[in-house]
Amino acid sequence: MRTLKVRGLRIDDSFAEAFPMSGTAIIITAPTLKWARQAATTMTGFATSVIACGCEAGIDRALTAKETPDGRPGVRVLLFAMAPDMLQTQLMNRLGQCVLTCPGTACYADIGGEKKLKLGSAIRYFADGWQISKKIGGRHFWRMPVMEGEFVCEATTGMTQKAVGGGNLLIMGDDFATTLRATEAAVAAIGKVKDAIMPFPGGIVRSGSKIGSKYKALIASTNHFYCPTLKGAVATELDDDIGCVLEIVIDGLTSEAVSAAMRAGLAAIIRLGPKRGALRVGAGNYGGKLGPHHYHLKDLLP
């Protein structure tokens, strides 16, 4: 692998290969940020990869009371799936099980677009005939009586089919502690980028996968080229000084959001430097033939 040297760090001359997805954005509010965040965390908990979760989801950012429709603190959640109908199913299930159930919450659309996904319209029947439809200032809401009071939920939210999934950075370091430090710095920086989320636990995935497996039933398996414990035994992408690899996967509502997120992450890793952080940064791709979006690391350097 050809590498560029930036402030002592090796940057692979490689690119992240990403795919078009269907994406949506919603706002969850509550009397306190704690409970808005709790609903969002629960809703996006088992949503790391479309491979087995049906969708990828995460918290875009926290919102102050002034930024939300009902004047209460909130969080913005993004959800992504491979197709609109899958996104609708996941949105309905997660809204019904994780937001409707969470004390104090209300839920609103936070993306436009002609194509709509059902929010309150999908779960209003839970109210068993006591649901109340309200149109306020051109927006349509459903009020549903619940044991704690009332759950208010916008009828629909918008959807984009120009979302992008699979932006990524492979952060490689000497050991677990330094690699994690660099990756955490990148996660913190990417967290400030609007319209992008990192769906894996704490934004980080330690078990990056390759397509296919020796077992017929599996469509993906461990990315053995980047496993340090297999170094020497298999064909490897790792240098002698690399002892740990962590990955950040990024989904964005737009291609620009994904490249901005990768740029911010890369800048944070480089700022930390090789002494305290990572030694090398790469990106995952499939040879460029599968995904239409390519993000070359050399174009994203600070």
| Chain contacts with another protein (rule: CB under 8 A) | 29, 69-72, 106, 130, 132-137, 141, 143, 149-150, 152
Of all helices (H) and strands (E), which one includes residue 259?
Answer: helix 255-276
- What number of other Cβ atoms are within 10 A of residue 275's Cβ? 9
DSSP 205: B
Looking up tokens 């199913």 gives 89
Q: How far is the CB of 160 from another protein (least distance, A)?
A: 25
Q: What share of the chain is helix, strand, coil (3-state, %, to 5)?
A: 30, 35, 35
* Residue nearer to another protein on the CB measure, 65 or 177: 65
Q: How far is the CB of 93 from another protein (least distance, A)?
A: 23
Looking up tokens 């120009």 gives 162
Q: How far is the CB of 125 from another protein (least distance, A)?
A: 15
Q: Widest CA span of the chain, in angstroms?
A: 66
Q: How far is the CB of 127 from another protein (least distance, A)?
A: 11
Q: How far is the CB of 133 from another protein (least distance, A)?
A: 7
Integer distance in angstroms from the first to the last C-alpha of the chain? 21
Q: How far is the CB of 152 from another protein (least distance, A)?
A: 4
* Residue nearer to another protein on the CB measure, 138 or 287: 138
* Residue nearer to another protein on the CB measure, 143 or 263: 143
Number of H helices, E strands in the chain: 6, 18
* Residue nearer to another protein on the CB measure, 131 or 178: 131
* Residue nearer to another protein on the CB measure, 5 or 135: 135
CA distance 133 to 136: 10
* Residue nearer to another protein on the CB measure, 136 or 233: 136
* Residue nearer to another protein on the CB measure, 137 or 232: 137
Q: How far is the CB of 189 from another protein (least distance, A)?
A: 34
Copy the structure tokens of residue 203.
């934004």
Copy the structure tokens of residue 236.
């490897």
Copy the structure tokens of residue 252.
């964005």
CA distances in angstroms from 232 to 117, 161, 208, 211, 254, listed in the order given: 50, 43, 19, 22, 40
